[in-house]
Structure 1
Amino acid sequence: MSPALEGPALFIGTDTAYVALVRPALDPADPDVRLAAEEAGVPPEEFAGPGDIWAVLFENDGEGDGFELPGVRDAEPAGFAERLRAELTTASGPFTVDGGAVLRLDARPAGADAYAFTARITPPDDPEAELTVETGPLPVAALLADLDAFLGSLA
């Protein structure tokens, strides 16, 4: 399960423990978007639509945060999702998917047709402050469906 968000989003985890790669869309009803549009002298609808900044969001037992990933292009999150999908369809044991300098996902079998994950997150502005998020068991079928939907949203 994941929080509601417009734009491409890949959530791995539960409502209380997750890591997510997101590229939020701009909502013309958002007060910050309305203010920026007013300052620019254009209607808020001109600012609406897909954003171009990727972010990592995370939550662990009600404590969460996130950070932007300036300069990341769609191909990088897509590559991460494709590698995760490939591992989920072929692995029979633990595996790791490297998402670059800010994200690494360690997976381990957690019952029949499920995996639990340890997400290792390194904020770009503080490389010494690695954070970890532990998810409970997640069904492989649901993860594959989420990965397909995410990859489809980038196509």
Structure 2
Amino acid sequence: MSAAVGGPGLLIGTHSAYVALERPRLDPADPGIRRAAEEAGVTPEEFVGPGDLWVVAYERDGAGDGFELPGVRDSEPAGFAERLRAGLTAAPGPFTVDGGAVLRLDARPAGVDAYAFTAHITPPDDPETIVTVETGPVPVTSLLADLDAFLGSLA
């Protein structure tokens, strides 16, 4: 499932329990963007910039939250996605994908051709807090298709 933020996005989990990596697409024609650019003394296109702002979003128990990760290069979420893909295509069994200081994903088989995930999320502004999100089973084939689409959107 791809996250719907206009830019590249990867949602891991189900609609009610997930973690998502998203790069919002900022629209230079948006009135708020135009106003902010004017205040900053730059064009809206310059203000929007290359898109190095990523977001980690999550939902659990009906409540969602998230945080921004400014300055993240596309290669970092792409590397995470590639490591997740490698784990899913290796011999069946539990595996962990390290996403750096803010995200670790533990995967375990959950039935035939599916995995369930435990996401350990550490907001950068509160490194003492670790949010844990447990997902239900996610079919491997659909997650692999989402990973391919996500990686393709970053190419």
Q: Is the 8 A contact 2:123 2:130 kept in 1?
A: yes
Q: State the distance in 2 between where 1:59 and 1:46 align.
A: 33
Q: Does the C-alpha gap of structure 1 residues 151 and 84 become closer, same or farther in structure 2, counting only changes over 3 Å? A: same
State the partner residue of 1:56: 56
Q: Does 1:5 align with 2:5?
A: yes
Q: State the distance in 2 between where 1:5 and 1:121 align.
A: 20
- Over residues 80-107 of structure 1, what are the superposed CA-to-partner deviations in whole Å (9 max), with x where a residue is unaligned? 1000001101131111111111100001
Q: CA deviation at 1:34?
A: 3.8
Give the secondary structure class of the aligned counterpart of 1:142: helix
Amino acid corresponding to residue 12 of structure 2 in structure 1? I
Q: CA deviation at 1:30?
A: 4.2
- Over residues 92-125 of structure 1, what are the superposed CA-to-partner deviations in whole Å (9 max), with x where a residue is unaligned? 1111111111100001111110001000000111
Q: CA deviation at 1:47?
A: 5.1
Q: How does 1:110-121 map to 2 (within 5 A)?
A: 110-121=110-121
Any gaps of 5 or more consecutive residues in structure 1? none
Give the secondary structure class of the aligned counterpart of 2:21: strand
Let me know the Cα RMSD of the aligned residues. 2.1
Percent identity of equivalent pairs? 79
Q: State the distance in 2 between where 1:14 and 1:3 align.
A: 11
Q: How does 1:6-155 map to 2 (within 5 A)?
A: 6-28=6-28, 30-39=30-39, 51-155=51-155
Q: Is the 8 A contact 2:13 2:19 kept in 1?
A: yes
How many residue pairs match? The answer is 155
- Over residues 27-54 of structure 1, what are the superposed CA-to-partner deviations in whole Å (9 max), with x where a residue is unaligned? 2464532431453577756756862211
Q: TM-score, normalised by structure 2?
A: 0.88
Q: State the distance in 2 between where 1:62 and 1:144 align.
A: 26
Any gaps of 5 or more consecutive residues in structure 2? none
